[in-house]
Amino acid sequence: MQTSDPSWWRGATLYQIYPRSFADSNGDGIGDLPGLTAKLDYVADLGVDGIWLSPFFASPQRDFGYDVSDHYAIDPMFGTMADFDALIAEAHALGLRVVIDQVWSHTAIEHAWFQESRQNRTNPKADWYVWADPLLDGSCPTNWQSWMGGATWTWEPRRGQYYLHNFLPQMPDLNFHCPQVQEAILDIGRFWLDRGVDGFRLDTVNYYFHDKSLRNNPPKPGDSPATMQRHVYNICRPENLPFLKEIRALLDDFPGSFVVGEIGSDDNLARMIEYTAGTDHLHTAYSFQLLSDRADPAHFRDAMQPWTHGAGARAWPSWALSNHDCERVASRWKLDAPTHQVAEFALALIVSLRGTIFVYQGEELGLSQAELAFEDLRDPLGIANWPANKGRDGCRTIMPWAHGQALMGFSSTTPWLPIVEAHRDHSVDLQSQNPTSVLAFAKHAIALRRASSALRLGDFQVIYEDLACLIFSRTAGESTCLAGFNFSSETQSISNFHRGYLRPDLTVGAVQIDPDRIILGPVSAFIVSPQLPFE
């Protein structure tokens, strides 16, 4: 583990890798650890501080690794423990930190813990999962609804009880009210930290505890059973906070390590602050706050303001605009501009935000969401909800490495998801040769953030806002940056608040900065460092 700067994660840029779709070394159509390791020089060349790896552990792959059957084992489709050790060594040699997913709220039904727990009510692991008796009429113990569809309870005839699952029925929830479960989870974390990882991304970190009294969730307006209730009793329980302190204490035993939690709740920003405030909870957390369809000034101002005062000033956020669970931002944001311009606009925005940021693989290439036929889907969410919800496969298609190769340099055989021909012209080899490509822009934007203490660590202050534009400053000591964004399809003219000519360090679209006016074309952006001398 690299320990030269224990606060390296503050303001860092991390690159999310979805291993199944990154690079296949053995020709089975599925990305793997050796393939990933061979591409780490590309990742390092982006200028990022580290990588976040989605799960590669032993799993039946119903939810593509987020259903773990052995937390200590590498799934053979991804390689071996020796392959993982080689990945860690190469990443560290290239100056990259390695953060790995940890899925602790639930397991796969194949996990040895669940196989023992389900047998009866008296075995040593009888209380390791959430079990409950049926109501008098035989129905489920609560009204809680799963995000994967249906009730959160499934009947187990061996015990004559229901077990809880907030996701697929084959993904039972662990009972964190059981001290032995907490100990076992911390042991897993210590194992991987001893192995050399630099930290964890904790999947669904606000799902660890449930209400022991099994109270029903209250109703609220929504368009599906899961959104028609306020999830106040199956998730986000106050008992979570003491266990987060146990996790932080474990990380503190490994100087330089850090932990980021994923949060999905009815109040994402409040939970993010609650889970990261002070020095004894999570280092940082991200949520689905910026993974929605909204792309307007008020949305981003509202996301930033809570971190400027009170508990928020003692907390640290993380942000992502794309990931493996949502539509790619270049397609999701319905801005009136070509896809490549929307991609650059999003990159400019995220590198200017206060917090730690995540760039999802392919985001630096300007990849759009893939449109797949129903028969090509692999995601159980999409298969169950088609066509109202097409699932997550469209953001998980393979990385396009080589324009001229039939399988775009990903594999020597048909990949697990179809080739997306629309991505061929976005390939790494083509963009690497083009100084005006989205890839070149991404490298420039990441380098600008890395070189600026204002962008990495500075405070956030809105300078100008209306329905179309947002201009804000980032300041850390003597370092200052100014960032401006026009989300609209119309040219906007705004007073130059610095009353002088400012040369942008980065621009998207048509930007003109005169001594008295800032003129922003449709879907345009700029970042400028006013304190720098200009030629």
Q: Which residues are identified as catalytic?
A: 203, 262
* Residue among 18, 21, 106 at smallest CA distance from 66: 106
Question: How many alpha carbons lie under 13 Å from residue 98 in its C-beta half-sphere?
Answer: 23
Q: Note whether 68 and 114 are within 8 A (CB).
A: no
Sequence-separated (6 or more) residues with CB below 8 Å from residue 12: 49, 50, 97, 356, 357, 456
Phi, psi of 345 (to 5 degrees): -60, -45
Q: How is residue 72 annotated by DSSP? A: E
Q: 């070394």: which residue's tokens?
A: 25
Burial class (CB in 10 A: 0-12, 13-18, 19+), 283: buried
* Residues found in the chain: 535
Give the integer Cα–Cα distance in Å for 30 and 26.
Answer: 8
Task: Please name the amino acid found at residue 279.
Answer: T
Cα angle 427, 432, 434; round to 5: 100
- If phi > 0 it is left, if psi is from -120 to 50 it is alpha, else beta; for residue 165 that is beta
Q: 């940056």: which residue's tokens?
A: 481
Task: Compute CA 482 distance to the chain's CA centroid, rounded to the nearest angstrom.
Answer: 26
Q: Can you list the alpha helix ranges (DSSP code H) found in 255-338? A: 268-276, 297-304, 329-332
Q: Note whether 498 and 484 are within 8 A (CB).
A: no
Q: Note whether 118 and 159 are within 8 A (CB).
A: yes
DSSP β-bridge partners for residue 526: 484, 507
Task: Report how many helices (DSSP H) and strands (DSSP E) the chain contains, helices first.
Answer: 14, 21
Strands (DSSP E) found in 21-178: 50-53, 57-58, 70-74, 97-102, 131-132, 153-156, 161-164
Q: Note whether 25 and 58 are within 8 A (CB).
A: no
* Residue among 254, 249, 252, 217 at smallest CA distance from 232: 217
Sequence-separated (6 or more) residues with CB below 8 Å from residue 451: none
Sequence-separated (6 or more) residues with CB below 8 Å from residue 98: 50, 51, 53, 87, 88, 91, 92, 196, 197, 198
